[in-house]
Structures are given as structure tokens and as C-alpha cells.
Amino acid sequence: MGKKFTRRDFIKATAVAGVAAYTLRDLSSFNTMASPGFSGEPVVISTWEHGMAANEAAMKVLSSGGSSLDAVEKGVNVSESDPEVMSVGYGGRPDENGTVTLDASIMGPDGNAGAVAFLQNIKNPISVARKVMEETDHVMLVGEGALRFAKAHGFKEEDLLTDKARETWLRWKQGMSDDDDWLPPREDHDTIGMVAIDAEGNLSGACTTSGLAYKIHGRVGDSPLIGAGMYVDNEVGAAAATGKGEEVIKVCGSFLVVENMRHGMSPQEACEEAVERIIKRHKGKPDFQDAFIALNKKGEYGAAAIQQGFQYALYFKGENTLNNGNFLMEE
Ligand code: GLY
């Protein structure tokens, strides 16, 4: 691994480039998150407020002795099936054409992985991704092929565009200027990423999303890309990402977080370093949000975001809590 980009380097770089409108926060006080060694007690961490209900479903699996792989699938199924969660699965915001297209990936402790991208008309893409992992020797299926595969495995085809999502899309279309090529408003990509450790100490991860609202038809983000939106190495740890997928892809974000843990960082440090990489690529002035969550083999957790506003749900020591993520940039 190359020299770690320190906060001092960052401040120097932004001062030289004259882009010091944002400053890096002093996070020393945040790095003391209590993370005891793995006690055999399962832990689940997931992104955003909708992670709370997803965590409950995941912990139900884990507390009855189930595997982390079953837990992450059943957990994120909750967000996928909830029409009020407008960034994942059924009820997700559509692309520029008004079509809901879904991306998802799953990875288990054996290092096997499955993913689907640009999948339409199937409510639970994570379960299709799991079928790809378990029933084929492929990792990813996309578009029409993914849909055919899903139907062949008994998934029901259904319209995923709810009235609420259609209305937001129509409002977006009305707000577009004739002079613009493609100018979406800034929307959070509130993907659900979840990583979990079960009673046996095995790690799994899942990530599922409808992606960027009103995206160009055919756009695929980080969520279905193994190592970008989510990654698991059962010897080391697991990580997942949310936010602007393009930027997570460019740093192989979740793989980077896991590699950081492999080289000795705590999950918190590992997430922060990955966020710093993205900030550095944008010369200290990112105008978007990205965030990472992570767990290591001991059941220690971490979470970090570029900007204020990121929340994560943590099921730890018998309690499911919604937490504000540490953020590295402030105006
Ligand atoms: N992080 C989700 C996406 O950009 O599609």
C-alpha cells in the first residue's frame, strides 16, 4: 500500500490548489468508538434510516442461529419490498425514461459472490443476485438476461413504479429545461448496504439500490460491482458503500476499506481513509455524498462519510440504534 494520505497532506494540497473552501475536520475525538473483541454475539450494520427495519429482520435470522448470508439477504429484502423507501427496489425512483432499474450484489464468507444490474420488474434483486451466486458459476447478470434468469427461477415479474415515484419523476421532467442535455437535481442515492457477522464469526454483505434518481437509461452504479459497492473477505472484514456510485467505483471503495483493515486499520480508520481518497481525487472539494460502513472479524464496526447527514443503523450488543456517521468535510 502506498503512503497514507494524511490530514496534513490534504490541508497542504488544498492550500496550494487554492480550494480551501472546505476544511478537513479533526476527527481524533471520533476514533475512540468502543469496539470490543468478537464475543460470539452477532453484529449487523447497514446504511441509512431504512437500515433500522432491515437490521431487525437480519438480527431475527442471526439470533435464531442463522448465517450472516441469510441475514443480509433477508435484511435488505425489507427495504427492497417497502414502497416508502424510494431508493431501493419496489417504489424506487425511476431513470430518465420513467423505468425503475435495479442493481444488487451479495457476497458470503466463502468468498463467493453474485450480482445483478439494470434489472427491471423484479422486486427483490438481492435474492436474484444470490441465485446467480449459488446456481451459476457466473458473478453478474444484467438487463434482459438477468430478468429471464430471475423468471426461470420463479421470481414474479411486476411493475415497480409506484404512483408516488411516478409523480416525483413527472415533477423532475417538468423542471427540466429544453436547453439542458441531462441535468438531474442533486438527489441522495440512499442505497442499502449491509454487512453482518454471525455467531460463528462469519461475515457476509449485501448491497441493493434503484441507483441515482432519473439517471440515464442503462446507467449502473457501484452497488452491483463486487469490491465497489460491497466486499467481504472472511479473514479480514466486510464493507459496503452508499452515495454517488461513480466515485466509489473509481477508488474500488469497499475493497479498499477491507484492504485497509487487512493492513491493520480499525474499521473506523479504514472507512475514513477510503473517504479521504475520494476527497483527494476531488481536490478537497467534493460536492456530493459518499459513505462507507465496515465490520471486522472481531465484530468491531466503523462508518464514515464525506459530508454531514449520513446515518447508519447498528445492531450491536442487543440494541438496534440509528447513528450519525462521522463526516470528514465541513463548509
Ligand atoms: N450508490 C448507488 C448508486 O450510485 O447507484
The better pLDDT of the pair 9, 205 is held by 205
| Residue of minimum CA distance from atom 5 in ligand 1 | 211
pLDDT at 189: 66
Answer whether 193 contacts ligand 1 (Cβ < 6 A): no
Q: CATH number for the domain including 266?
A: 3.60.20.30
Answer whether 243 contacts ligand 1 (Cβ < 6 A): yes
**Residue 32 counted as domain residue:** no
**Residue 164 counted as domain residue:** yes
Report the number of distinct structural domains present in the chain: 1
Q: Ligand 1, residue 219: give the atom nearest the CA.
A: 5
Q: How would residue 180 be classed by pLDDT, with cut points 50, 70 and 90?
A: low
User: Over 90: is that where the pLDDT of 311 sits?
Assistant: yes
Please answer whether residues 275 and 295 qualify as being in contact, where contact means their C-beta atoms are separated by less than 8 angstroms: no
Question: To test the ligand 1 pocket, which listed residue (101, 186, 189, 250) has its Cβ within 8 A of the most ligand atoms?
Answer: 189
Q: Ligand 1, residue 248: give the atom nearest the CA.
A: 1
Q: Ligand 1, residue 211: give the atom nearest the CA.
A: 5
**Residue 55 counted as domain residue:** yes
**Residue 37 counted as domain residue:** no
191 catalytic per annotation? yes
Q: How would residue 322 be classed by pLDDT, with cut points 50, 70 and 90?
A: very high
**Residue 97 counted as domain residue:** yes
Give which of 91, 299, 329, 330 is closest to 192, Cα–Cα. Answer: 91
DSSP code of 104? E
User: Over 50: is that where the pLDDT of 132 sits?
Assistant: yes
Please state, in angstroms and rounded to a whole number, the distance separating the CA atoms of residues 78 and 330.
Answer: 33
- The parent domain of residue 286 ranges over 43-330
Question: To test the ligand 1 pocket, which listed residue (223, 249, 251) has its Cβ within 8 A of the most ligand atoms?
Answer: 223
pTM, 2 dp: 0.88
Answer whether 228 contacts ligand 1 (Cβ < 6 A): no
Answer whether 93 contacts ligand 1 (Cβ < 6 A): no
Give which of 215, 84, 223 is closest to 162, Cα–Cα. Answer: 84
**Residue 186 counted as domain residue:** yes
Please answer whether residues 257 and 292 qualify as being in contact, where contact means their C-beta atoms are separated by less than 8 angstroms: yes
Average model confidence (pLDDT) for the chain? 89
Dump pLDDT digits (tens) for 32-65. Answer: 333 346 889 999 999 999 999 999 999 999 999 9
Q: Concatenate the DSSP letters of all residues of 14-80 into one string.
A: HHHHT-TTSEE---GGGTT---PPP-S--EEEEESTTHHHHHHHHHHHHHTT--HHHHHHHHHHHHH
Q: How would residue 310 be classed by pLDDT, with cut points 50, 70 and 90?
A: very high
